[in-house]
Homo-oligomer: A and B are copies of this chain.
Amino acid sequence: MKLIHQLSKETGIPIGTIRFYEKSGLFRGETKKEVTTNKYVYYGNDVVEKLRFIQMAKAVGFTLAEIKEVVDAWYKKQLSQNAKIEVLDRKLVQIEEKIKDLKAVKKQIELCKFNIENEVS
């Protein structure tokens, strides 16, 4: 169990951003009820895992709202099994599209590079 400063150092995500994500409902830390002198929030390795997932998902163009859907399917008890599977299947379709787009972008850049290299200057 770590405090926010250590969580930030471990993940490379600024404290402000972590707080913003927590407020957005992407995860939550826990306060120790036995401690009454402060309201310090502790985070487990599940949060580290979630933050890494958020980082990667953001890097490939998912919005926080889309990431929240996955995270909710991941650990929210309120959703039915079917609803969760449905969300995840939709994300997997989106991922296949992104893989296609990424390959097309790569091809285009490689072609562009080839043209530049074989140009008469």
Chain A interfacial positions (CB closer than 8 Å to B): 53, 56-62, 70, 73-74, 81, 84-85, 88-89, 91-92, 95, 97-99, 101-102, 104-106, 108-110, 112-113, 116-117, 119, 121
- How many protomers of this protein does the assembly include? 2
User: Which residue of B58, B105, B116 is within 8 Å of A95 (Cβ)?
Assistant: B105
7 A–B pairs (Cβ distance < 8 Å), ordered by A? A59-B98, A60-B98, A73-B112, A92-B106, A92-B110, A95-B102, A102-B102
The answer to whether A112 and B88 touch across the interface, beta carbons within 8 angstroms, is yes
The answer to whether A113 and B101 touch across the interface, beta carbons within 8 angstroms, is no
Having A53-B108, A74-B112, one finds 10 other A-B pairs with CB under 8 Å, namely: A56-B101, A57-B105, A60-B61, A60-B98, A60-B105, A61-B61, A92-B109, A92-B110, A95-B106, A99-B102
